[in-house]
Structure 1
Amino acid sequence: MNVRFLKLLYYRIPNILKLLLIVLISLSFFGYLIYLIEPQRFPTPIDGIWWALITGATVGYGDYAPVTLFGRLIAACLILTGGGLIAFYIASISTTAIKREKKSQEGKLAFHGEDHYIFVGFNERTRQLVDLIIHYFSDKKIVIIDRTLNHLAYTKLPVHYIKGNATEDAVLHMANIKAAARVFIAADNQKPDYESDTHTILTTIAIRGNNPDIPIISEILSKKQIDNAARAGATTIIRSNDFMSSLFFHELDPEIQATPFEDIYHLLIQHKFIHHTVPDSLIGKTYLEAVIPCLEKGFLIIGVLREKEYILHPKTAFVLQEKDTLINLASR
């Protein structure tokens, strides 16, 4: 090991560890020195180092104390130097903790966890979604990427904020995109639909380029951009405008005496949709014959997906085929 390698290693060590190393070396030096000067009072070097630590920290147990003039001069030097080093080290730890917390709130701190959810864009809709995930999956780690917030004062854990543009590789690397479980890209409602969708598509391309296998849920506002989002690599495309328009149309129907918004809201909160391939035991069976066995397993069949065609609430005599997919509801 040459001197150049040692210097390189030293400069790569974080400053807080450098300071700790200096404190340990200084205390060890004074401890060994007092052991050489007063071996009767300090039988071993460990006793001397213990005395140096207690003296430098201004604790002063009194179990060890120098009696000679030279030993007391060493103690005075230790108090003036070692004590200052320890105080400076403790202050540095506090400063580092405060800086780290500030960087975390400002979105300048990289995330190093795995199997986490990444949310691109933070608004009221995203906040409610985060609350739901924390409620139902309390151990799931969440990373929020947003380019407009100066800081994220979010009190509920575990949420990690990163400030930046999710179309940039450096920002995605800060979010540890390669180890993430899935990504949700929220539309920016403060911009025109075309600009919002363009940014969503560019973000989808950047994410897919960094992680070819990760599921990406993209919110698209304009029908014209749905195909582009799919080509960009979106696994699921949320058409929020289509959904809300259909919901409003249902609310405006004068012949319907219901509360569709509340019904759908509570349905999605209390239940989840599950797709199952038709098991061999149900192939050739009617929809009515398949309902009871699935109910016994905790699933309610509400429809069938056949060759990308949704058949919801089929007739009781509807016959299930081999490649059909059952659309089920299951309790959370």
Structure 2
Amino acid sequence: MSIRFIKYIYFRLPTAVKLLITVFLLMTFFGTVIHLFEPSQFPTIFDGIWWAFVTGATVGYGDYIPLTPAGRIIAILLILTGGGLIAFYITSLSSATVKHEQDLESGRLPFKGSNHFIFIGWNERTKQLIHIASKNYPATRIVLIDRTLRQLTFQEYPVHFIHGDASEDAILEKANIKYAACVLITSELNKSERQADNYTILSTIAIRGNNNQIPIVAEILSKIQIENALRAGATTIIRSNEFMSGLFFHELSHAKTATPFEDIIQLLTQQQFAHLQLPSELDGKSFLHVSNQLLQQGYLTLGYIRDEKYYIHPNANHTLLGNDILISITCW
């Protein structure tokens, strides 16, 4: 291995690692020299190295002491060089730790994990989503990408924050998009609906270009942009305006003893929707019979999908066919 290659590797190392290597080499040098000058006082090289570290760190145990003038001169040189170098190393390590924490909070550090969730956009919906996802999937890391947020501490929200534009490849690479499990894009509510949807669609295109298989859940505000989002590569479209309009209607027209909003919130946070292909042995059976069979497996059947048409809470005697998709809910 050539000296040039060693120097190349050394200077590419982090500053803290370079300083640590330098400290070890310097202490080894002084430990070897003191052993050679005073072999009776320092029987082994390791004893000399131990003395060098203790002296350089200004601990001064006193278990090894140079007795000759030459040995004391070596000790003086060690104190002048090694002591300052160790102090500089500790200071540099502390500064690097503080800088790393600042970079992490400011969203400048890349994410190195895999099978993680990526949330795009910082808003009240995302905050609630982080809480729900962390509760139901505690082992899954979450990466948050946002271009407006300037700082976010891990103590406040357990996410890896990346500051930047999600429609840029460099930002997606920092989020390790190629190894993510899924992506959720929320709309920017501080923009107009058209601007928010345009950003969502651009981000979807960029994400799909970097990972052709990843599921992308995109929130679209304008109905006319739904097809564009699907063309861009979105897997699922969240039509938040339609959902809220339907919920408002239920709140206006429901019976006084019901609480539609609270009921839906509890359903979405405690249960998970599932689409199941009708088992072949249940082909031709009634909806009531199928529901009872699935209930024993932990699925509460709400209805079914036939030819892309939804049938919610159908007649109990309605006959189900082989191509029907059952709509059920189950615990997380």
TM-score, length of structure 1 as denominator length = 0.97
Equivalent residue number for residue 293 of structure 1 = 293
What displacement does 1:111 show?
A: 0.6
Tell me, yes or no, if the aligned pair for 1:140 and 1:158 is still in contact at 8 Å.
no
Letter in 2 for 1:260: P
Equivalent residue number for residue 116 of structure 1 = 116
Equivalent residue number for residue 65 of structure 1 = 65
Equivalent residue number for residue 103 of structure 1 = 103
What displacement does 1:68 show?
A: 1.2
- SS of the residue corresponding to residue 67 of structure 1 reads coil
- Percent identity between matched residues is 52
Aligned-partner Cα distance in 2 for 1:151–1:265: 30
1:285-308 alpha-carbon deviations (Å, 9 max, x no partner): 111111111111111000112232
Letter in 2 for 1:37: F
User: In the comparison of the two structures, how many residue pairs are matched?
Assistant: 332
What displacement does 1:197 show?
A: 0.3
Deviation larger for 60-69 or 235-244: 60-69
Equivalent residue number for residue 33 of structure 1 = 33
Aligned-partner Cα distance in 1 for 2:51–2:158: 43
Tell me, yes or no, if the aligned pair for 1:35 and 1:44 is still in contact at 8 Å.
yes
1:31-81 alpha-carbon deviations (Å, 9 max, x no partner): 000000011111111111111111111222222221111111111111111
Equivalent residue number for residue 235 of structure 1 = 235
- SS of the residue corresponding to residue 139 of structure 2 reads coil
Tell me, yes or no, if the aligned pair for 1:35 and 1:42 is still in contact at 8 Å.
yes
Over 3 Å counting, the alpha-carbon distance change for 1:254 and 1:116 in structure 2 is closer
Equivalent residue number for residue 22 of structure 2 = 22
Tell me, yes or no, if the aligned pair for 2:154 and 2:160 is still in contact at 8 Å.
no
What displacement does 1:331 show?
A: 2.1
What displacement does 1:21 show?
A: 1.2
Residues 1:268 and 2:268 aligned together: yes
Over 3 Å counting, the alpha-carbon distance change for 1:132 and 1:165 in structure 2 is same
Matches for 1:114-263 after TM superposition, within 5 Å: 114-156=114-156, 158-253=158-253, 257-263=257-263
Aligned-partner Cα distance in 1 for 2:230–2:27: 64
Over 3 Å counting, the alpha-carbon distance change for 1:171 and 1:254 in structure 2 is closer
Equivalent residue number for residue 80 of structure 2 = 80
Equivalent residue number for residue 9 of structure 1 = 9
What displacement does 1:11 show?
A: 2.3
Aligned-partner Cα distance in 1 for 2:272–2:158: 23
Over 3 Å counting, the alpha-carbon distance change for 1:179 and 1:254 in structure 2 is closer
Gaps of 5+ in 2: none
Tell me, yes or no, if the aligned pair for 1:142 and 1:160 is still in contact at 8 Å.
yes
- SS of the residue corresponding to residue 66 of structure 2 reads coil
Aligned-partner Cα distance in 2 for 1:157–1:122: 12
Aligned-partner Cα distance in 2 for 1:258–1:118: 36
Tell me, yes or no, if the aligned pair for 1:197 and 1:221 is still in contact at 8 Å.
yes
What displacement does 1:156 show?
A: 4.2
- SS of the residue corresponding to residue 7 of structure 2 reads helix
Deviation larger for 256-265 or 135-144: 256-265
Equivalent residue number for residue 50 of structure 2 = 50
What displacement does 1:102 show?
A: 0.5
- SS of the residue corresponding to residue 275 of structure 1 reads strand
Aligned-partner Cα distance in 1 for 2:255–2:329: 27
Aligned-partner Cα distance in 2 for 1:140–1:207: 20
Structure 1 runs of 4+ with >6 Å offset: none
- SS of the residue corresponding to residue 304 of structure 1 reads strand
Residues 1:329 and 2:329 aligned together: yes
Letter in 1 for 2:115: D
- SS of the residue corresponding to residue 269 of structure 2 reads helix
Over 3 Å counting, the alpha-carbon distance change for 1:305 and 1:254 in structure 2 is closer
What displacement does 1:154 show?
A: 4.9
Aligned-partner Cα distance in 1 for 2:299–2:170: 43
Tell me, yes or no, if the aligned pair for 2:186 and 2:218 is still in contact at 8 Å.
yes
What displacement does 1:127 show?
A: 0.4
Aligned-partner Cα distance in 2 for 1:331–1:17: 49
Letter in 1 for 2:47: D
- SS of the residue corresponding to residue 276 of structure 2 reads strand
What displacement does 1:4 show?
A: 3.2
- SS of the residue corresponding to residue 119 of structure 1 reads strand
TM-score, length of structure 2 as denominator length = 0.97
CA RMSD of aligned residues (A): 1.4
Aligned-partner Cα distance in 2 for 1:252–1:7: 74
